[in-house]
Amino acid sequence: MDLRGILIILILGFAFTAQATHNRSGEITYRQTGPLTIEATITTYTKASSNGADRDTLELNWGDDTSTLVGRSNGNGEVLPGLDIKVNYYTASHTYSGRATYTMWFIDPNRVDNILNLNFPNSVEIKFYIETTFTLFDDQFNGLNNSAVLLQPPIDFACANQPFKHNPNAYDPDGDSLAYELVVPLMGRDTLVPNYELPDQIGIGPNNILTLNEITGDLLWDAPVVSGEYNIAIKIKEYRNGTLINSIIRDMQILVSVCENNPPRIEAVDEICVLAGERIVIPLTVNDPDEDQLVQLTATGAIFEIDGIQVDWNENPVFRPTEFQDSLIWNTRCLDIREQPYQVVFRAQDNGLSSSQGLTDLKTIRIYVTGPPPLDLDTEVDNEGILLSWESPYVCDVPADDYFRGFSVWRKIGTNPFPIDTCEAGLDNRGYEIQAYLVQDQMDGRFFYKDTDIETGVVYCYRVLANFSLKTTAATPQFFNFSRSLTSEEICATANRNVPLLTAADVRATDTSNGEIFVSWLKPIPEQLDTIENPGPYRYQLERSQDNSIYTPIPAANFTSQFFAEDIDTSFLDIDLNTVAGSYFYRVAFYADSQLIGNSPTSESPFLEITSSDMKNTLSWDVASSWQNYEFEIYRLNDESMIFELHAETRENEYVDKDLENGEEYCYFLRTVGTYNLPATPEFIINNSQELCGTPLDTVPPCIPELLLTNACDDFLNNPEDWELINFLNWNDVTIPCAESADLAGYRVYYSINPEDDFELIAEIQGTETTNYNHSPEMGSIACYYVTSFDFAGNESNPSETLCISNCPQYELPNTFTPNGDGANDVFFPRKNRFINTVSFKLFNEWGNLVFETTDPQINWDGMDLGGRPVDEGVYYYTCNLFEITSDGDMNERSSISGFIQVIR
């Protein structure tokens, strides 16, 4: 057992009522009471039994080089029943000299002792520090900026080996968005506490994992292993219009005890989306596996804090037997509209630890209250543009609320008939561009907007949003924290539709020379053509192009009528085409009395392309149509019935047909479904592509192996007599991480001495079970390797990471030398030499004079000095630099040794 485990056993009995010391947890919050004035509150949870460390006054540093001694505002503090915990509040006001971003902070000399994950076992020596950073805006333009309000206390209880849940449950009074982040606790400005670990690193294991949901603030620790006291720090970040404006660092404590108890469970939805004015009913079911216990259900959230919100909920809950049902009811108002969700945290607590304490379960529910959509959109087209109008009054235009700001008008060329989701306000990423903002103009009892920036023949589609916001208190108020309603339904119109509209470019036959495409169109609208000003005869000429640039009239597709209302063919079957090679573009030129009025918008026949690979065909297309294609149907040929059957539907421009048989042919065609979403046009415009076949082939190699390379150096150092010169290559089983390796045939091993040289194949291992190889290279252990995998189709993966390994040299010199001519020990040479290729050996006498030197790794000194004279008996000092050949062929100084040699004659 390690030291920590021994200390934990010695220190923990575990009782929260032990010893003195002080701070457990806390945070600083504030509310803005004037343009440059805030009221700040330090909240601390301390050890109630530490009377000598109790603080009736704290120093709050305001972040502008000033500080204030703040007295406790809740008397002597509030001791929680049955616990060694006291809650303290310290509140003070401060006026700043100007608008800026400030960091206010508080520091105290001591934390509580024996926090397991913070400088254990001497956490009492670590200072307790918390801070809040905030921005004072020009309130005339940006409004006030209050801190987030944290509704759950910064201290909580858990049982070992049971999941633990916590949520700070913060909300922002100004409607700013919040995010959560786990950070390291602090002991001073920009100073992290020492020896800190996340709680799940104590008793580390696969069933001990702590996570934080950065959006909801849900903290899940599943599950604590070691009982004791833990601290974490959560940064609550506040954003306005995407910009970080505030942050609170909450230092909180989790008390884990050993207990035989199971937490209760709450069953409820995760998210609810409603339109303002609707009634919300949230049913909840609570149960506890320990049937002899009682459970209390409470709830916290912004909806209980904001004035005027009408919530039906029991504010004074009692402990009840399990299992039971409850519900929260909320009659929403237009004033409740906001894009950020309301978050309600339900907390079920049993009484398994004491009459009032036990394990808990949390359920976080996010509630979106969205503005109702504008209704009954209509368009009128005249020579000046498109007049868009919609219903008045708007249901959330409530003067008493002073929250509705007007409408925004959005436009897109071509329709986008997406399904409307009650949870999604606005028109983000839908392709619409804003045309007008805060529109409130009315005419004939309807809201309206006139679009005059239009072109003839273009299909313009509109949607309208209602906009809401808070506002500043300036004489000329400014708006901030906008919210958008649900989008209206889409309505489309064309300006001066005095030209035809195509409605089909449908491939009817697939062939290289006898292909066919059916083309159809709609006649212009007579009211917009003005047939008096543009009298007949009227002629429709269908034109074709293969590049959407040069259009050629189709001789047989020329239709004429003397009068506009006269029946005339508005379709044509274009034949003798190569519908295999590519698509065709069409347009209709419209003439009145031989004068060209204009061309219809162009449309392209659908063209399907296929890329085949291992067990799949990837189908892709890109259709340029004057209408909007919003759905694509994939038809595949049934080999038995020889009929094309609907195989898949998608809204994307690509579909991957998977799990196919390699070598078998699969045939398809594409059907596009679209619309103009215009009056007097087809509700559905359907066109087919050519037929196209693809044969899956295995062109995808298996996954790349992950190589691990070691050698036998440790064995050599421990057992040099039986040592073998071997490099050990090991890699993972590539069939486990990816499906592409399902047809794995084996592995190939490549080798080189120098990573810059060409590698040679030294082994091909057949089969999937062997994932290792041993190799004895040419130069000791020096070698570089990579490994590939290959499949039965011959596809070879990219190389693994190239790994190189060096020798494990050993060099040892004796300390006694007897050059006396008796044939024994007359030459000085190394006792051990492994992989040392050259040396720089120098020998000195007791006066420091050089008597011998060599670069020969075998030394081979016969006892003579540099002048050829025998050296005297005595002690000589040497230095020896050792060199080995590296994998790139260079000499590398491995190390240096030195020592003494006793010469005995």
SS3 string of 709-774? EEECHHHHHHCHHHCCCCEEEEECCCCCCCHHHCCEEEEEEEEECCCCCCCEEEEEEECCCCCEEE
Does 125 score more than 80 pLDDT? yes
Half-sphere exposure of residue 731: CA atoms within 13 angstroms, side-chain side: 31
Give the integer Cα–Cα distance in Å for 811 and 815: 13
The token duo for 826 is 């007359």
Q: Which runs of consecutive H residues, i.e. helices, occur in 576-687?
A: none
- pLDDT tier at 323, thresholds 50, 70, 90: confident
More confident residue, 3 or 261: 261
Q: Is 776 within 8 Å of 742 (Cβ atoms)?
A: no
Task: List residues bridging with 30 in a β-sheet.
Answer: 40
Q: Using CB atoms within 10 A of its CB, is residue 719 exposed (0-12), middle (13-18) or buried (19+)?
A: exposed
Q: What is the mean pLDDT of the chain?
A: 89
Does 894 score more than 80 pLDDT? no
- pLDDT tier at 6, thresholds 50, 70, 90: very low
Cα dihedral value 181, 182, 185, 190, nearest 10: -50
Give the integer Cα–Cα distance in Å for 128 and 23: 7
The token duo for 408 is 């925004």
Does 3 score more than 80 pLDDT? no
pTM for this entry: 0.67
Q: Is 830 within 8 Å of 813 (Cβ atoms)?
A: yes
pLDDT in the model for residue 18: 36
Give the integer Cα–Cα distance in Å for 362 and 357: 15
Give the integer Cα–Cα distance in Å for 643 and 659: 21
- pLDDT tier at 65, thresholds 50, 70, 90: very high
Q: Which three-class secondary structure state does DSSP give residue 657? A: strand
Arithmetic mean of pLDDT, 870-877: 93
Phi, psi of 347 (to 5 degrees): -130, 115
The DSSP code for 118 is B
More confident residue, 143 or 449: 449
pLDDT in the model for residue 885: 67
- β-strands 891-903, 816-817: how paired? parallel
pLDDT in the model for residue 15: 34
Q: Is 655 within 8 Å of 692 (Cβ atoms)?
A: no
The DSSP code for 211 is E
Arithmetic mean of pLDDT, 40-61: 92
Arithmetic mean of pLDDT, 309-323: 87
Q: Which helix (H) or strand (E) holds 326?
A: strand 324-331
Q: Which of 682, 863, 703 is nearest to 768 (CA)?
A: 703
> How is 269-305 classified by DSSP, letter by letter?
-SEEEEETTPEEEEEEEEE-S-TTSEEEEEEEEGGGT
Q: What is the pLDDT of residues 703-741, one digit of tens each?
A: 999 999 988 765 555 555 555 678 899 999 998 877 777
Arithmetic mean of pLDDT, 193-206: 89
pLDDT in the model for residue 635: 98
Phi, psi of 263 (to 5 degrees): -70, 155
Half-sphere exposure of residue 407: CA atoms within 13 angstroms, side-chain side: 32
Residues 6+ away with beta carbon under 8 Å from 653: 620, 621, 622, 632
Q: Is 413 within 8 Å of 460 (Cβ atoms)?
A: yes
Q: What is the pLDDT of residues 421-444, one digit of tens each?
A: 888 899 999 999 999 999 999 999
Residues 6+ away with beta carbon under 8 Å from 430: 412, 416, 418
Q: What is the pLDDT of residues 255-309, one digit of tens each?
A: 998 888 888 999 999 999 999 999 999 999 999 998 888 999 999 999 999 888 9
Q: Is 674 within 8 Å of 685 (Cβ atoms)?
A: yes
Q: Which three-class secondary structure state does DSSP give residue 334? A: helix
- β-strands 186-188, 191-192: how paired? antiparallel
> How is 447-458 classified by DSSP, letter by letter?
EEEEE----BT-
Q: Which of 224, 24, 26 is nearest to 124 (CA)?
A: 24
> How is 790-845 classified by DSSP, letter by letter?
EETTS-BPPP---EEE----EEE--SEE--SSSSSS-SB--SEEES--EEEEEEE-
Does 460 score more than 80 pLDDT? yes
Q: Which of 148, 145, 170, 128 is nearest to 29 (CA)?
A: 148
Phi, psi of 659 (to 5 degrees): 55, 45
Half-sphere exposure of residue 332: CA atoms within 13 angstroms, side-chain side: 22
Q: What is the pLDDT of residues 478-533, one digit of tens each?
A: 788 889 999 999 999 987 788 899 999 999 999 999 999 999 999 998 877 888 88
For 860-886, letters b (16+ CB in 10 Å) and e give: ebebebeeeeebeeeebebebbbbbbb
Residues 6+ away with beta carbon under 8 Å from 783: 727, 751, 752, 753, 775, 777, 804, 805, 887
Does 9 score more than 50 pLDDT? no
Give the integer Cα–Cα distance in Å for 233 and 219: 12
pLDDT in the model for residue 714: 56
pLDDT in the model for residue 782: 78
pLDDT in the model for residue 316: 80
CA 355 to chain centre: 43
* CA-to-CA dists, residue 206 to 189, 196, 212, 715, angstroms: 35, 20, 17, 33
- pLDDT tier at 797, thresholds 50, 70, 90: very high
Cα distance between the two ends of the chain: 57
Q: Is 476 within 8 Å of 468 (Cβ atoms)?
A: no
Q: Which three-class secondary structure state does DSSP give residue 123? A: helix
Q: What is the pLDDT of residues 670-681, one digit of tens each?
A: 999 999 888 889
Arithmetic mean of pLDDT, 377-383: 89
Q: Which helix (H) or strand (E) holds 526?
A: helix 526-529
